[in-house]
């Protein structure tokens, strides 16, 4: 049955009042000053047959959750509630078995063979076989979905062959270090009996477009509000999910909704939370700390020519931008200055010796002077060589706090650069970012804790477009060579060294400045569910959306395995 489309009126939530929260917190006795204990002993769901009837999370419209109609990273996660991949993340950040119960690569990494779990069925009762996996590859690469941009990094695969009903082999022309994450963990498997005759997959929204093999079925979707209701697939091949209903509810303020009992969890990803509010919630609710993998990134469009294509100009801007000040003022110190190499500061492959452009305004002025960008008429703002007037149009999205672009503008004006901040609505800003209709822009996106092949996908001269996070006009032979080398380096130590060198090259060129990365954390109702965790490498999973926790009720492993 196709999920209902509703237009229920929404409850308008009041502004959060700090004093009320402090008063509410005064009656509690639990000390939540430290992050919730996530050890195995503290895992209440491991080995526990008691199901959770309902979890309520903050909503948001991310499109219809089919393999092709979702939008943005969170939409992919929601579609994954219904459509499975061969492998999937758990709390370790490593990929483990999902549709595949076992897998192995040959000696040179050019063949990956997967064995599917026995008796997997689609939600309409049809069996899921290795033939569906092979069909999915063909459909994503040569079929109607070839231009959809979905399916993962399938360009690294030559062919996929179903050996028998449960065994399927991926054949690669050369080894691919990120195969598990970018292919086996990314390609949603499609039912051939449904999609074989679909010519326009992104527009296909008939009842059977929602039929997957996943742990949940979409019961309701309110497009206007951004509400979703997923109900457990009791015939799921890994067993009945631990959480029976997952609801995404539209609220104006997650923390206030949690306080009122309208949500079971509230996440803070990039929003400022003053210390008084933070302490009050920390005393009243459980807390899980995550990682800093989302950034407000300052993109330079090198296609715009001088001075954006000059490395000294980009360095000057970076020295002028006070990253620590942004952390302190925008997220009350709960975050880190961004890394100059393209990965998160806390990424295990960040070498830790990348340049920090934090010499301040004096160094910025020196570099600008060296480029001939000087205040020749004494009006306080700099002109280009030849006394040509110069104004930077700084593009930003209304989706994020206006304080970010305002601070960047102030830093640059301090060194004599004239800046006009142009804030567009989310869709217009995303479109401008994707098409390169800007000189400098602040784009917000995650994924900085992902597999380092994301560096190739963003900074290689022939990298495919990445929507609003596309880097425009950047090309460097050394970066291209290193990006390609890490791709085939299956030895971890060798790959680590290559990725470190790749980041050093990117940091020197600085086509993008990660201004700051806020630390993620969430507060939750301990009496409802205590299995929340952040998933390293999966930014859109956040700390409350990974289906693994809802299915298993544990941090690692599958339902029939002990949590480890």
How many helices and strands, by DSSP H and E, does the chain display? 16, 22
Token pair of 456 as six digits: 């190739």
Rg, C-alpha atoms of the chain = 24
Question: What's the CA gap between 215 and 86, in Å, rounded?
Answer: 14
DSSP at 341: T
pLDDT digits (tens, 9 = 90+) for 159-199: 999 999 999 999 999 999 999 999 999 999 999 999 999 99
Other CB atoms within 10 Å distance of the CB of residue 390? 16
Distance CA 57, CA 66 (A): 20
Each residue's pLDDT expressed in tens, for the chain with a length of 564 residues: 334 333 323 233 333 333 333 333 333 323 323 333 333 333 433 344 589 999 999 999 999 999 999 988 899 999 999 999 999 999 998 899 999 999 999 999 999 999 999 999 999 999 999 999 999 999 999 999 998 989 888 999 999 999 999 999 999 999 999 999 999 999 999 999 999 999 999 999 999 999 999 999 999 999 999 999 999 999 999 999 999 999 999 999 999 999 999 999 999 888 888 999 999 999 999 999 998 889 999 999 999 999 999 999 999 999 999 999 999 999 999 999 999 999 999 999 999 999 999 999 999 999 999 999 999 999 999 999 988 899 999 999 998 889 999 999 999 999 999 999 999 998 999 999 999 999 999 999 988 998 899 999 999 999 888 889 999 999 999 999 999 999 999 899 999 999 999 999 999 999 999 999 999 999 999 999 999 999 988 888 989 999 999 999 999 998 864 333
Q: Tokens standing for 475?
A: 């090309």
CA 73/CA 467 separation, integer angstroms: 12
Residue 401: which of 269, 538, 226 has the closest Cα? 269
Rounded to the nearest angstrom, the gap between the alpha carbon of residue 226 and the centroid of all alpha carbons in its chain is: 19
Cβ burial of 562 (10 Å; 0-12, 13-18, 19+) is exposed
DSSP-assigned letter for residue 356: -
DSSP-H helix ranges across 490-539: 492-509
What per-residue string of b and e applies to 446-473 under the rule 16 or more CB within 10 Å gives b? bbbbbbbbbbbbbbbeebeebebbbbbe
* Alpha carbon separation from 233 to 75, 244, 269, 482 (Å, rounded): 19, 8, 30, 45
Closest to 241 (Cα-Cα) out of 94, 40, 84? 84
Helix intervals (H) in 371-436:
403-414, 426-435
Is-contact 347 338, C-beta < 8 A? no
> How far apart (Å, rounded) are the C-alpha atoms in residues 42 and 48?
12
Say if CB 288 and CB 265 are below 8 A apart.
no
Residue in this structure with the two tokens 């806390």, named with its chain if needed: 346
Instruction: Look at strands 227-232 and 245-249 and give their pairing.
Output: antiparallel
Per-residue confidence (pLDDT) for residue 464, from 0 to 100: 82
Alpha carbons 316 and 160: distance in angstroms, whole number = 49
Peptide bond into 2 cis (omega under 30): no
DSSP 148-198: S--SSSGGG--EEEE-SSSEEEEE-SS--TTHIIIIITT-----HHHHTT-
């Amino acid at each position: 049955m196709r999920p209902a489309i509703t237009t229920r009126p929404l409850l308008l939530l009041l502004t959060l009042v700090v004093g009320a929260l402090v008063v509410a917190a005064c009656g509690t006795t639990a000390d939540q000053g430290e992050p919730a204990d996530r050890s195995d002993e503290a895992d209440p769901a491991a080995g526990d047959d008691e199901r959770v009837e309902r979890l309520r999370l903050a909503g948001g419209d991310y499109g219809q959750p089919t393999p092709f109609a979702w939008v943005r990273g969170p939409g992919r996660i929601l579609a994954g509630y219904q459509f499975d991949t061969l492998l999937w993340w758990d709390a370790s950040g490593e990929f483990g078995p999902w549709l595949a119960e076992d897998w192995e690569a040959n000696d040179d990494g050019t063949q990956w063979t997967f064995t599917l779990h026995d008796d997997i069925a689609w939600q309409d009762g049809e069996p899921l076989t290795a033939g569906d996996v092979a069909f999915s590859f063909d459909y994503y690469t040569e079929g109607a979905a070839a231009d959809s941009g979905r399916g993962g990094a399938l360009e690294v695969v030559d062919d996929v062959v179903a050996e028998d009903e449960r065994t399927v082999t991926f054949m690669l022309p050369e080894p691919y270090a990120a195969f598990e994450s970018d292919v086996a963990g990314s390609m949603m498997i499609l039912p051939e009996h449904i999609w074989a005759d679909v010519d326009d997959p992104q527009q296909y929204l008939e009842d059977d477009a929602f039929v997957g093999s996943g742990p949940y079925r979409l019961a309701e979707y309110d497009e206007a509000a951004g509400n979703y209701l997923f109900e457990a697939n009791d015939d799921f091949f890994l067993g009945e999910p631990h959480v029976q209903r997952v609801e995404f509810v539209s609220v104006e303020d997650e923390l206030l909704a949690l306080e009122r009992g309208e949500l079971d969890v509230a996440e803070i990803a990039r929003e400022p939370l003053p210390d008084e509010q933070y302490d009050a919630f920390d005393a009243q609710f459980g807390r899980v700390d995550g990682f800093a993998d989302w950034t407000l990134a300052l993109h330079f469009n090198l296609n715009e020519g001088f001075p954006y294509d000059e490395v000294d100009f980009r360095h000057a801007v970076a020295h002028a931008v006070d990253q620590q000040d942004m952390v302190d003022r925008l997220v009350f110190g709960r975050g880190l200055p961004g890394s100059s190499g393209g990965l998160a500061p806390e990424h295990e492959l960040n070498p830790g010796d990348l340049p920090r452009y934090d010499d301040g305004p004096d160094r910025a002025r020196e570099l600008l002077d060296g480029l001939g960008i000087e205040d020749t008429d004494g009006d306080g703002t700099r002109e280009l060589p030849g006394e040509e007037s110069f104004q930077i149009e700084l593009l930003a999205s209304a989706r994020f706090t206006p304080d970010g672009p305002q601070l960047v503008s102030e830093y640059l004006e301090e060194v004599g650069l004239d800046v006009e901040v142009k804030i567009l609505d989310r869709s217009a800003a995303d479109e401008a970012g994707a098409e390169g209709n800007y000189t400098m822009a602040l784009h917000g996106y995650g994924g900085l804790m992902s597999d380092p092949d994301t560096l190739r996908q963003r900074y290689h001269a022939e990298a495919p477009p990445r929507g609003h996070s596309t880097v425009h006009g950047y090309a460097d032979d050394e970066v291209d060579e290193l990006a390609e080398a890490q791709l085939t380096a299956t030895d971890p130590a060798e790959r680590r060294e290559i990725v470190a060198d790749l980041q050093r090259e990117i940091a020197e060129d600085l086509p993008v400045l990660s201004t700051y990365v806020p630390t993620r954390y969430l507060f939750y109702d301990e009496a409802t569910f205590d299995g929340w965790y952040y998933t390293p490498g999966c930014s859109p999973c956040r700390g409350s959306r990974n289906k693994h926790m809802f299915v298993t009720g544990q941090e690692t492993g599958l339902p029939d395995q002990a949590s480890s």
